[in-house]
Structure 1
Amino acid sequence: MQHLFFRLKREARRLVRCACAAGLAAAFLLPAPHAAAGASGWELAASAISGLIAYKSTLDTMLDIGNNADYQRQSLLQDKRANGADANALDVRAVDDVMRRLTAPGMYVLPANNLPFTWHVNDSALFNAACYPTDYISVNRGLVRVLGGNEAELAAVLGHEMTHGLAHHSAETYAKIMATYYGLSLLNMATGVMDWQQLQALTVYSGAKLFTLPKEYEADEGGFYLAARAGFNPGGGAAAMARMDAYLSQESRNFEEYQDPEEKKKENYNDHPDTLLREKRLLGLLTEYSAGHVTVRDRKTVCIDGTPLLTGRFTAEDYDDTAENADLIAGELGRLFHDEAAASGWGFAAGKLWADERAPLLTEAVAREGLTAKLSALVHDAYAGEAASGARAKLVQREQQQAAEREKAQQALADASAKDIKRMRMNSDIYSDYGASDKALALIDRALSLPNLDDKAESLAIRGRALAVRGDFAAALRDADAGCAQDAKNAYNFLNRADIYWMMGDRAAALADCERAAAADAKNPYSYLMSGMLYDEQGDRAQALASYRKLHEVAPKLRRIPDEYLKDIDPAALEKIQKERAAAKKAAAEKKRQEEKTKEEDKAQKLGDASALPLQLRQSR
């Protein structure tokens, strides 16, 4: 059984909840002609400067939050508290399988200031997923169920969320909305042309339309290529949009997500594009991916170079899935055109039914409708025309450009600063605290591989601790011994090794390393904290009290001394702490009461708003 290991530097890190969810409306300085008319040049300049300062400071803060594994952990806990956990193992397995493939090595380049992705399937019935600034992806069970666990569609949606994280979309949009608000606030104070509610509405609306919408399209494109690169059907993104459109307009009985089918000809007045526009754009990406050969006409007919091959079928019992099925078949067809440089790679054989295990849906449709000869003719004609059209050359050029972009990202990672590498070490240590040895080892191995590594000795000691969390104690001690030998002046090297010994059950060796840590840095409180915990664990109260007394001397504000010892060391401090606990408990109870009251008020409001729904939908609720 794994030892409940010591959280080495937990108290040194501020544990606060990450209040920034994915999908925050984002904006920059929206032109305000009415305000500008009555404002001086100085006022306009001041508002612009105010917005710029707000943007820069907020962005720096958000990026710092996003690259802190403590905040990532809090994102997960916050999601679980608010939305619970999906109890259906099939839902969880479907998401886990897709995310493991999407996050496998080589699928993308993780920037130096990004955390490894982590995810959770919650118990919300709404059709949604979100990526927090911390690279934490929250997936609603409602989304998994509506997509029927289809891996290609899930991959496109989850790749979309990953792109938000890789490109820091949440951080940027939140910073821009703050810039807009501060800039317009200063301008409004000078001109007084609108009230604060109008200003807030203008900020949110302009952010949704000018910045969040383009980022959604960017995330769709990123998700398309992430999923395709991982081997998923590249038609999954378009199919997911088709499924989503059918669900929101035909099936959803939730007022919050219902979409009026008569309002789909233009972009919605929110922070996401209309689903049919997204489907159209994703099919455009599929056409490019197929060297220009594959299209879907009227959301049902799959074509090769404009010539119809087959039509998607209506197969579902409760909704029209024609477009979804056409998009998925088109995706398989597009992958074959992408992967094969000539018709010879398709495996056509005279007198034999065509089949390809890479394209099960297409294979089944061709067999059912007797389309082998037609498919063969269209495919051969398509390749014959590539030289004249330049379609294959355009595809090769596009992929060379993407390869160059990945190489540039790799170089940026190789040039990671010592500051970024230090943060990798810190985050690796935090992952070890939470028992996530895979992520801890991935980050510390990454740090050790980079040219600008600033402290190899501490990095080795941290890797040793991560290996111990995994249970590989022999390798853990090799690394920790090397770290201590290379730098005996760093107390944390000995503390890491002490924690390894503690996990191994060797308290004597752990206590000896605590003494070495104290000798290296007498003001470091954690050697006394760890030794106090170790002595207490083995029942030596006198030695534990001595260690805790020393801890109180060097760090009286650390507050990790158990009450039974603090009452002997500093009774007044214990009394103060107990009063603070009682006050915090009272405040928490009041907060919970207010939250329950707000929920009831929101529920009443939604019941009132439901009268605006179509009669048929109201009756079905």
Structure 2
Amino acid sequence: MLKSWKRKLARAAASAVFACAAIVAAPLPAEAASGTGWGIAASALSGFIAYKSGLSMMLDIGNNARYQQQSLWQDKKANGTDGNARDVAIVDGVMTRLTQPDVFVLPADALPFSWHVNDSALFNAACYPTDYISVNRGLVRILGHEAEIAAVLGHEMTHGIEHHSAEVYAKTMAAYYGLSLLNMATGVMDWQQLQKLTAYSSAKLFTLPTEYAADAGGFSLAARAGFNPGGGAAAMARMTAYLKDESRDFREYQDPKEKTDVNYNDHPDTELREARLMKMLTDYSACHVTVADRKDVCIDGTRLLSGAFTAETYDDTAENAYLLAGELGRLFHDCRTAEAWGLGAAGDWENAKAPLLAAAVRQQGLKDTLRTLVTAAYAGEEKSGARKKLDAAEAKERQALAKAYDAVLAANAKQAKRMRMNSDIYSDLGDSRKALAMIDRALAAKGLDDHAESLGIRGRALAVAGDFDGALSAADAACTEDPKNVYNFLNRADIYWMKGDLAAAIADAAQAVAADEKNADGYLMRAILTDEAGDCDGALADYQKVHELAPAFERIPDEYLKDIDAKAYDARVKKREEAAKAAAEEKKKAAEARKTDEQQQQPSTEKPQKEQKTTEKNEK
């Protein structure tokens, strides 16, 4: 998350632990943990079990395409959808560049990134454990440059790539269970203190380091995608100005006094993040570019120009300085010599990689000054060794990316199976791009456990994309390679169905039934297809078989279930009515809570006591 508003998110991590207490074995009773030595050992063991259990659970949730879709639905339900096409286009453009294959490596146990611009005016963005990124329209509107948005979204992507949510959750669980058992042995604190200690530990020891890592990862991702590398520092400068001068929402405002208090804030101070991101830019520029006093852009310590104050409602001097420094830094990074800058040509200096810088140099007549400073900077690189240090750091980064890619190719059978499952889910959802991406990863995996079924699933993904020739070619190969697998025929039946060839689809469903007469899925597919073809008697017979083999199946239509099992039909109707009643109650409660929240957010019309007394005196 970009910013932790008011302390409540850190506490929520601890609350999640308490809500999920049944996931691991309950702590030993106090009598069993009475010895201090045993208590410490048991607390460590309990914490380890909790960590492994929590991590496994969260990684499993995060690697399920169905849950990713639910993340989107929950976000839309809670925050709506931004109706501004420009906002959406900006985010889509930035994320499309950030998610190119040469920018990052998606781990074997992760999903392709999904994103949505919601209708919240709050200045924030967040990455769910499912690699779903929620972007508030408030963030898009407030950040004035796509490089700033890229730095923020790269930060969120890093949370997903590194599984930060899963790690923090698991460590928080481990801390709670370990501290709980130790407290039983020693009795040093009450349970309220324990909860506070867990929340504080989660914020400071677990979440805070991931925020530093996400800032660094976001810088690297944005830079590799070709965005202005000054975007990260500029975004922090913009956020500082916004929270100080413009925010009027109590969920965003933070009292400056909190910096000196013991608090649960799980994010670094914005000013510190700004300074760290500027240091990353300096390193990226082979140590040539710095910004002094948040305004003066310097080359090797000599001022070239300054950021300008251009905004109407806030001071954007620092923001503009960082964007200028970012373009300057990119040129030092990408150009190995001073000549590569093109400063020796006649006329005004132009550079596609540095439009802001070129315009400022032209307007202020600084071309000769820039050429002198750049020439001197390269002349001193041999002595400083900064370029060699930069090259070594980037070589190490490339090795890490290559290693991560090799790990994806070395995915085991369990991981390959999950990739195949996720591909099928994406096809169900109509997302052929993600479906093909996942199944291609599975087919390339060293531990691929079922080549034939993977081909069939790839065929289905191709059909969703509209490539029926390619789809049938893959599905035919799957059925030939493994004619005993029911799902190879069902995948081909689905392809024929999408193509509009109902007879061929029914024939393949029949082959699926013949391949395994005890598998309900074959009968279910044939029932759906024969019903569509108008053969109600055939559909009834197949649905009857589905009910016999899998009584819990919910996909038998009411009109057929009524004839097959009247008791089961009555139970379904009752369950549906109860769910509708519960949903209505929940909607009523949500509306009441929303009304209360809106009332609390309205500014008070009462005058401060001192002002009120003065006014009364004047009126008298």
TM over 0.5, shorter chain = yes
Q: Is 1:121 the counterpart of 2:117 in the alignment?
A: yes
Tell me how far 1:591 sits from its aligned partner. 2.5
Q: Residue 48 of structure 2 aligns to which amino acid in structure 1?
A: L
2-structure distance, mates of 1:360, 1:615? 53
Q: Residue 184 of structure 2 aligns to which amino acid in structure 1?
A: M
**Are the equivalent residues in 1 in contact too, given 2:460–2:492 (CA < 8 A)?**
yes
**Are the equivalent residues in 2 in contact too, given 1:236–1:331 (CA < 8 A)?**
yes
Q: Is 1:61 the counterpart of 2:60 in the alignment?
A: no
Q: Residue 136 of structure 2 aligns to which amino acid in structure 1?
A: N
Q: Is 1:417 the counterpart of 2:412 in the alignment?
A: yes
Structure 2 counterpart of 1:441: 436
Alignment of 1:18-417 (within 5 A): 25=13, 40-148=36-144, 150-260=145-255, 269-349=264-344, 352-417=347-412
SS at match of 2:115: strand
SS at match of 1:271: coil
Structure 1 counterpart of 2:507: 512
**Are the equivalent residues in 2 in contact too, given 1:302–1:330 (CA < 8 A)?**
yes
Question: CA 1:383–1:396 in structure 2 vs 1: closer, same or farther (change >3 Å)?
Answer: same
Tell me how far 1:379 sits from its aligned partner. 0.6
Tell me how far 1:596 sits from its aligned partner. 3.4
Question: CA 1:606–1:286 in structure 2 vs 1: closer, same or farther (change >3 Å)?
Answer: same
Question: CA 1:297–1:198 in structure 2 vs 1: closer, same or farther (change >3 Å)?
Answer: same
1-structure distance, mates of 2:383, 2:471? 61
2-structure distance, mates of 1:266, 1:303? 36
2-structure distance, mates of 1:370, 1:139? 40
SS at match of 2:305: strand
2-structure distance, mates of 1:344, 1:267? 53
Structure 1 range deviating more: 526-535 or 464-473: 526-535
Tell me how far 1:605 sits from its aligned partner. 5.5
SS at match of 2:43: helix
SS at match of 1:479: helix
**Are the equivalent residues in 1 in contact too, given 2:281–2:326 (CA < 8 A)?**
yes
Q: What do you get for the CA RMSD once the two structures are aligned?
A: 2.6
User: Which deviations, in whole Å up to 9, do the C-alpha atoms of 1:435-468 show, x marking residues without a partner?
Assistant: 0000101111121122222211101100100010
Tell me how far 1:589 sits from its aligned partner. 2.2
Structure 1 range deviating more: 214-223 or 451-460: 451-460
**Are the equivalent residues in 1 in contact too, given 2:127–2:134 (CA < 8 A)?**
yes
2-structure distance, mates of 1:615, 1:564? 73
Question: CA 1:230–1:86 in structure 2 vs 1: closer, same or farther (change >3 Å)?
Answer: same
Question: CA 1:613–1:330 in structure 2 vs 1: closer, same or farther (change >3 Å)?
Answer: farther
Tell me how far 1:378 sits from its aligned partner. 0.7
2-structure distance, mates of 1:453, 1:299? 53
Residue ranges of structure 2 left out of the alignment (5+ in a row): 1-8, 18-29, 612-620
2-structure distance, mates of 1:615, 1:363? 54
Structure 1 range deviating more: 446-455 or 170-179: 446-455
2-structure distance, mates of 1:115, 1:610? 49
Alignment of 1:427-576 (within 5 A): 427-576=422-571
TM-score scaled by length of structure 1: 0.90
Question: CA 1:211–1:554 in structure 2 vs 1: closer, same or farther (change >3 Å)?
Answer: same
Q: Residue 92 of structure 1 aligns to which amino acid in structure 2?
A: V
User: Which deviations, in whole Å up to 9, do the C-alpha atoms of 1:84-112 show, x marking residues without a partner?
Assistant: 10000000000000000000121111110
**Are the equivalent residues in 1 in contact too, given 2:308–2:321 (CA < 8 A)?**
yes
**Are the equivalent residues in 1 in contact too, given 2:10–2:200 (CA < 8 A)?**
no
Aligned length: 588
Q: Residue 362 of structure 1 aligns to which amino acid in structure 2?
A: L
Structure 2 counterpart of 1:582: 577
**Are the equivalent residues in 2 in contact too, given 1:255–1:610 (CA < 8 A)?**
no
**Are the equivalent residues in 2 in contact too, given 1:233–1:331 (CA < 8 A)?**
yes
Tell me how far 1:307 sits from its aligned partner. 0.9
Structure 1 counterpart of 2:21: none
Q: Residue 47 of structure 1 aligns to which amino acid in structure 2?
A: S
Tell me how far 1:59 sits from its aligned partner. 0.4
User: Which deviations, in whole Å up to 9, do the C-alpha atoms of 1:3-61 show, x marking residues without a partner?
Assistant: xxxxxxxxxxxxxxxxxx9997489x9xxxxx9xx971111221221111111101000
Question: CA 1:22–1:588 in structure 2 vs 1: closer, same or farther (change >3 Å)?
Answer: farther
1-structure distance, mates of 2:269, 2:131? 25
Relative contact order, CA 8 A, sep 6+: which one is greater? 1
**Are the equivalent residues in 1 in contact too, given 2:10–2:266 (CA < 8 A)?**
no
Tell me how far 1:399 sits from its aligned partner. 0.5
SS at match of 1:76: helix
1-structure distance, mates of 2:608, 2:46? 42
1-structure distance, mates of 2:11, 2:226? 27
Residue ranges of structure 1 left out of the alignment (5+ in a row): 1-20, 30-34, 617-621
Q: Residue 133 of structure 1 aligns to which amino acid in structure 2?
A: P
2-structure distance, mates of 1:270, 1:379? 42
Question: CA 1:610–1:483 in structure 2 vs 1: closer, same or farther (change >3 Å)?
Answer: farther
Structure 1 range deviating more: 449-458 or 358-367: 449-458
Structure 1 range deviating more: 581-590 or 110-119: 581-590
2-structure distance, mates of 1:182, 1:82? 32
Question: CA 1:447–1:44 in structure 2 vs 1: closer, same or farther (change >3 Å)?
Answer: same
Structure 2 counterpart of 1:591: 586
User: Which deviations, in whole Å up to 9, do the C-alpha atoms of 1:274-322 show, x marking residues without a partner?
Assistant: 1111010000000000001000111101011111111100001111000
**Are the equivalent residues in 1 in contact too, given 2:10–2:199 (CA < 8 A)?**
no
**Are the equivalent residues in 1 in contact too, given 2:10–2:265 (CA < 8 A)?**
no
Tell me how far 1:529 sits from its aligned partner. 1.1
1-structure distance, mates of 2:367, 2:601? 54
Structure 1 range deviating more: 547-556 or 180-189: 180-189
2-structure distance, mates of 1:67, 1:270? 28
User: Which deviations, in whole Å up to 9, do the C-alpha atoms of 1:467-509 show, x marking residues without a partner?
Assistant: 1001111110000000000000000000000000111111111
Question: CA 1:605–1:467 in structure 2 vs 1: closer, same or farther (change >3 Å)?
Answer: same
2-structure distance, mates of 1:310, 1:83? 42
Q: Residue 58 of structure 2 aligns to which amino acid in structure 1?
A: M
Tell me how far 1:600 sits from its aligned partner. 4.3
**Are the equivalent residues in 1 in contact too, given 2:199–2:264 (CA < 8 A)?**
no
**Are the equivalent residues in 1 in contact too, given 2:125–2:135 (CA < 8 A)?**
yes
SS at match of 1:296: strand
